[in-house]
Amino acid sequence: MIDHRIFEDLQTKIDEETHVRDELQEIVQTLARRGRSTQAILSRAHSTPSGQLKPVLDSATKEIIAQKKEVTRLKAVADQHPFYKYNGLWTRELQNLVTAIELCAWLGGFQEYKGADSCEFLTIEEVGKFLDVPVNLKEEDAFHLTIEEYLLSLIAMAEELSRLAVNSVTLGDYTRPMQIGSFIKDLFAGFQLLNLKNDVLRKRSDGMKYSVKKVEDVVYDLSLRNLIPK
């Protein structure tokens, strides 16, 4: 005899899970929409001389703060459920946001969140502090920014900066490629310390050497022609 209740219970659970996913998805979609507009604003940096970046950074900051509110909303809902059960729904958008924050910070924004002896990028703790979310939780099952998400964001940031190195030259700025070059090499040295397995982090960080090469080529071209400012 087959007990019907077994299947009725399963259907109830499937319906409940769908409801949770719908609720989270709605927030993630808002986050994604705002994320696209943040990205559009930040892409103006490619055509703006570094001296005139302030208005770009200001409006990017405004969008990022709007996204931060969505993250707070997301956190409130996500905290009611197991973190890794639904993490896949928002991880992409959260990574994009962290990339935007890091880019904005590297270009001179978010100064108040950088530590005194800080590097040129925000540490995972500093990002967490800005977004007001915990980071790298190892015990507690709650919403947080994971190490993997943070590292993937840094890789995306390096890709964007390598593009900026090329465009800086077009804008007549020969100093910024040097700064980008030394920063990306630092970051790359960091990634080389990691023992990566065959996963998404490995795949993405393997691509980082192309970002390094792209910037090195720019620096090489400039130095060959004695264009590097002393």
Partner 1 sequence: MNNNNKNADADANANAAMDEPSSKVLSIFGTFRDELDEHHDRRERIIKASRDITALSKKIIFSLQRTRTIKSPLPPTIAKETTTRFTQIHTLFTSLTPDLTAVNTWRYQRNISPGIQEFIEALSFHHYILTQELITKEEVQAKLPREVLVTEEDYLMGLFDLTGEIMRFAVTGLSSGAASSQKDQKKEEKGEEKESGEGELRMLPESQAGLVVDLRAMRALFEMLSVPRRYHMLRDLGKKMEVMQTSVEKVEKAAYGILVRGSERPAGWMPDLSHAVDVESY
Binding footprint of partner 1 on the chain (CB under 8 A): 1-4, 6-7, 9-11, 13-14, 17-18, 21, 25, 82-85, 117-119, 123, 136-142, 147-148, 151, 185-187, 189-191, 193-197, 201
Q: How far is CA 3 from the centre of its chain?
A: 49
CB of 126 to partner 1, least distance (A): 11
197 vs 230 by CB, closer to partner 1: 197
112 vs 117 by CB, closer to partner 1: 117
CB of 19 to partner 1, least distance (A): 10
CB 103 within 8 A of CB 57: no
Closest to 39 in 3D by CA, of 157, 207, 129 = 157
CA-CA distances (angstroms) from residue 149 to 10, 97, 141, 156?
32, 11, 17, 11
97 vs 201 by CB, closer to partner 1: 201
Tracing tokens 């099952």 back to the chain, one arrives at: 141
CB of 86 to partner 1, least distance (A): 9
72 vs 136 by CB, closer to partner 1: 136
Closest to 56 in 3D by CA, of 109, 9, 94 = 109
CB of 140 to partner 1, least distance (A): 6
1 vs 224 by CB, closer to partner 1: 1
DSSP alpha helix (H) spans, 43-146: 54-78, 83-106, 124-131
CB 165 within 8 A of CB 215: yes
CB of 99 to partner 1, least distance (A): 17
125 vs 217 by CB, closer to partner 1: 125
Side chain identity at residue 35, one-letter code: G
Q: Could you tell me which residues come within 8 angstroms of residue 129 by beta carbon, excluding any fewer than 6 positions away?
A: 113
